[in-house]
Amino acid sequence: MKIKMRGQDVKVSYGSKEALHGITLDIPEHQVTALIGPSGCGKSTFLRCFNRMNDTIEGAKITGLITLDGENIYDQRIDVVELRARVGMVFQKPSPFPKSIFENVAYGPRIHGLVKSRAELHNVVEKSLRQAGLFEEVKDRLHEAGTSLSGGQQQRLCIARAIAVSPEVILMDEPCSALDPIATARIEELIDALRQNYTIVIVTHSMQQAARVSQYTAMFHLGHLVEVGATETIFTSPKEQRTQDYITGRFG
């Protein structure tokens, strides 16, 4: 099994407060890896290391090694804009640009110079919306504002926006926490389909969701990686008592 991304002894601090204490974790290619654990345990902080989103936080310091296909993503030669195209991100709250549905998806390919003609751009937009399971619902109103869509549709639009720049990895930070159960089920089905073409890392506060969508699960607690393994193993026979306590609801 190929390892797509790898974190080795990753530490993150904000000023004098250390948020992550030496995390080492492999992310297998074309699999869904779920990061679980109680609120404030560091799972979102770790996720954001994979596309250097923590760079945008004042006072954040990251040490250790994080690689994409074996290349150090914190190397000075790395173009961060290009990195964030290769490692896309979908946030907790759907966040469409204040633009039309079409322009939300077209924006990335256009600024990255991925298309040479209007026809090619239209093809990329349609393909991305289809992959996100949204095209049939919006094909007759592509000129309408992305913000006019329902919450679940907006989140699928944000997934289409990430897909449009041909990423290799998609990071999802609690992508369903603001959605109703029906919209959540649509996103979960979508995640399962997307892993054929992309490597996915998802932070979720829902253990049921982790069990449904992921092949691997990593348990975080107080900035430490407690254990990682095949999802079925983590949920049925975890090695660590803290994992057992969390999945049985003793803390969280």
Instruction: Evaluate whether residue 31 is within a structural domain.
Output: yes
Strands 169-173 and 87-90: parallel
CB 65 within 8 A of CB 72: yes
Instruction: Evaluate whether residue 112 is within a structural domain.
Output: yes
- The CA–CA distances, whole Å, from 166 to 7, 210, 239 equal 23, 25, 38
pLDDT in tens, the chain (252 residues): 899 999 999 999 999 999 999 999 999 999 999 999 999 999 999 999 999 999 999 999 999 999 999 999 999 999 999 999 999 999 999 999 999 999 999 999 999 999 999 999 999 999 999 999 999 999 999 999 999 999 999 999 999 999 999 999 999 999 999 999 999 999 999 999 999 999 999 999 999 999 999 999 999 999 999 999 999 999 999 999 999 999 988 766
Instruction: Evaluate whether residue 252 is within a structural domain.
Output: no
Instruction: Evaluate whether residue 79 is within a structural domain.
Output: yes
Instruction: Evaluate whether residue 133 is within a structural domain.
Output: yes
- CATH assignment of the domain containing 122: 3.40.50.300
pTM: 0.95
Instruction: Evaluate whether residue 123 is within a structural domain.
Output: yes
How confident is the model at residue 252, as a pLDDT? 60
How confident is the model at residue 86, as a pLDDT? 97
Phi-psi region of 70 (alpha: psi -120 to 50; beta: other; left: phi over 0): left
How confident is the model at residue 1, as a pLDDT? 87
How confident is the model at residue 250, as a pLDDT? 77
Say how many domains are in the chain: 1
Instruction: Evaluate whether residue 109 is within a structural domain.
Output: yes
- The CA–CA distances, whole Å, from 36 to 203, 210, 230, 243 equal 6, 8, 13, 10
Residue 75: CB atoms within 10 A of its CB come to: 9
Range of the domain at 224: 3-247
